[in-house]
Chains A and B, each alone.
Chain A
């Protein structure tokens, strides 16, 4: 019994070491072998060796260095066997030389940072589909197993495993270089990375599948990735903007769901349930982003979220400021949904008539034709203006478009009363 427990404890410890070390391990190996699929295999081989040795011998004092040494030995074997041997031998010899130098540790620290960035940019490369980018990023940088990713996205494990295999093959076939993009290429590649992280966060924040409408563990995974990125690229305002946005949104996780699992909208939430630690972190990240001179897509959304986070009660919200931020966001990234949010903010700042005027400008937008929030917002404003018959019709229309059963119920109820 005791032996089994010890064995189990050793396995859990190895899992934990893997979660912590695998991104750096894979990133470092990928630089040597120039193929993230091979790098991952080598890293896993090293892990298997650890699984064989650690339960009996104990976890080494520096498990990361142990794994890296074991994996590098395998990388050398791999290179000797492969056709790349001649080309790479010299490089590897140089690398081993470097390791003997006394300032190796400091050099390695910088190097690891760059390797991790290369790994992030490669895993989020636009040649891959968004689903493949998400799976690969969670696998390689989040240290999640295919099973864990599958459970988080309610997808069969085989599908996720296949997706990862295919993604790695695509990267190899398209000869995607293991590099940090530079110059004009950097901005679009960085937005691809941020998009992947925010996709993961949003899948946790408003799940598109399954009974629960939130999966907080995925939000935590995304936040961890965002925080790592912020450390790797500390001078990039949009990364801090995204981290700020996720921290502030995550601060509301507890308040967003009622006792029977129903969604609770922002202005109806019990603000005492908002997590002050995450709000503080979010506001600090936002300040950092603003200090760096950012005014981008994520920063502006974070700034809007921050207006809500700073208001101790819904009535204390600085709506005029939110209108300004939505106007800026709409100019930067025009979208009817942002326009609709802006109209709501206008109604809160300047009254329902001003809001309605704004909403009516959006009625012909093709994207909003099947979007239940357009008639829902319109109905709400009409109701506030006392035009109850028109409001009822809008709520009915909104209910017919709503996907979520609980939301539909609420809209039908409003359709009956007009209020």
Chain B
């Protein structure tokens, strides 16, 4: 199963555009990332620029409205993520616990929805089976 570990650094919601992480912290994180990689569990990871460089699109009344960051009402924002593949939620939590996090950081661990988690009607909709051709075409083994 897959989990996303969302890094939430307190204060990042107010960070100025172009805020960059401290090189010493990056070195520590790289070591952690390497341990995930060596264990064969890391699928992807990314760090995100602060919200002051982003924007939000809301859909009130079915109409998209764009608001530039920073977002005054936001109490916490995501600063980056890891996507990992592990055997259990406990294993995901164990990996998250090994992160060299600092006082202001929180990691939220969330399981990625798998196809098999969906009920049949949602699976059909997600698979687009309704508009698929019933293929009896070429038989490449």
- Please report A residues at the B interface, Cβ cutoff 8 Å: 9, 12-13, 15-17, 19-20, 59, 63, 143, 220, 223-228, 231-232, 254, 258-259, 264-268, 270, 272-273, 277, 281, 314, 337, 340-341, 344-345, 348, 373, 376-377, 380, 410, 413-414
Known contacts A19-B91, A223-B85, A277-B83; A231/B139 CB under 8 A: no
Count the B residues whose beta carbon is within 8 Å of the partner chain — how many?
A: 35
13 A-B residue contacts at CB 8 Å? A13-B93, A15-B91, A16-B91, A143-B87, A223-B40, A223-B85, A224-B39, A225-B40, A228-B38, A266-B140, A281-B43, A337-B141, A344-B141
Q: A267-B140, A340-B141 are in contact. List 8 more A-B contacts (CB 8 A).
A: A15-B90, A16-B87, A224-B40, A228-B38, A258-B129, A337-B141, A341-B141, A344-B139
Contact of B127 among A13, A268, A270, A314 (CB under 8 A): A270
- Chain B min CB distance to A269 (Å): 8
Chain B residues closer than 8 Å to A259, beta-carbon distance: 120, 123-124, 127, 129
Task: Decide if B87 touches A377 in the complex (CB within 8 Å).
Answer: no
Chain A residues closer than 8 Å to B132, beta-carbon distance: 270
Q: Which of B75-104 contact A (CB under 8 A)?
A: 83, 85-91, 93-95, 97
Chain A residues closer than 8 Å to B62, beta-carbon distance: none
Chain A residues closer than 8 Å to B135, beta-carbon distance: 264-265, 267-268
Contact of B115 among A59, A254, A258, A344 (CB under 8 A): A254
Bound-state CA distance A264–B127 (Å) is: 12
Bound-state CA distance A110–B23 (Å) is: 25
Chain B residues closer than 8 Å to A273, beta-carbon distance: 127-128
Cβ of B30 under 8 Å from chain A: no
Bound-state CA distance A376–B44 (Å) is: 41
Contact of A224 among B85, B95, B137 (CB under 8 A): B85
- Chain B min CB distance to A182 (Å): 23
Cβ of B138 under 8 Å from chain A: yes
Chain B residues closer than 8 Å to A413, beta-carbon distance: 136
Bound-state CA distance A259–B39 (Å) is: 35
Cβ of B58 under 8 Å from chain A: no
Chain A residues closer than 8 Å to B141, beta-carbon distance: 265, 337, 340-341, 344, 373, 377
Known contacts A231-B40, A340-B141; A16/B90 CB under 8 A: yes
Chain B residues closer than 8 Å to A15, beta-carbon distance: 88, 90-91
- Chain A min CB distance to B124 (Å): 6
Q: Which of B31-82 contact A (CB under 8 A)?
A: 37-41, 43-44
Chain A residues closer than 8 Å to B91, beta-carbon distance: 15-16, 19-20
- Chain A min CB distance to B101 (Å): 13
Bound-state CA distance A17–B85 (Å) is: 15
- Chain A min CB distance to B128 (Å): 6
Chain B residues closer than 8 Å to A231, beta-carbon distance: 37-38, 40
- Please report B residues at the A interface, Cβ cutoff 8 Å: 37-41, 43-44, 83, 85-91, 93-95, 97, 115, 120, 123-124, 127-129, 132-133, 135-141
Known contacts A15-B90, A259-B127; A226/B140 CB under 8 A: no
Task: Decide if A277 touches B139 in the complex (CB within 8 Å).
Answer: no
Chain B residues closer than 8 Å to A12, beta-carbon distance: 88-90
- Chain A min CB distance to B114 (Å): 9
Chain A residues closer than 8 Å to B44, beta-carbon distance: 277, 281
Known contacts A273-B127, A277-B83; A373/B90 CB under 8 A: no
Known contacts A267-B140, A376-B139; A277/B43 CB under 8 A: yes
Chain B residues closer than 8 Å to A377, beta-carbon distance: 139, 141
Chain B residues closer than 8 Å to A228, beta-carbon distance: 38-40
Known contacts A13-B90, A228-B38; A20/B139 CB under 8 A: no
Chain B residues closer than 8 Å to A258, beta-carbon distance: 129
Task: Decide if B129 touches A19 in the complex (CB within 8 Å).
Answer: no
Known contacts A16-B90, A277-B83; A410/B43 CB under 8 A: no
Task: Decide if B87 touches A19 in the complex (CB within 8 Å).
Answer: yes
Chain B residues closer than 8 Å to A268, beta-carbon distance: 133, 135-137
Bound-state CA distance A284–B128 (Å) is: 29
Bound-state CA distance A276–B125 (Å) is: 19
Bound-state CA distance A337–B89 (Å) is: 41
- Chain A min CB distance to B133 (Å): 8
- Chain B min CB distance to A397 (Å): 14
Task: Decide if A227 touches B94 in the complex (CB within 8 Å).
Answer: no
Pairs of residues from A and B, 10 with the lowest C-beta to C-beta distance, nearest first: A268-B135, A227-B40, A12-B90, A16-B90, A16-B91, A224-B40, A228-B40, A16-B94, A231-B38, A254-B115
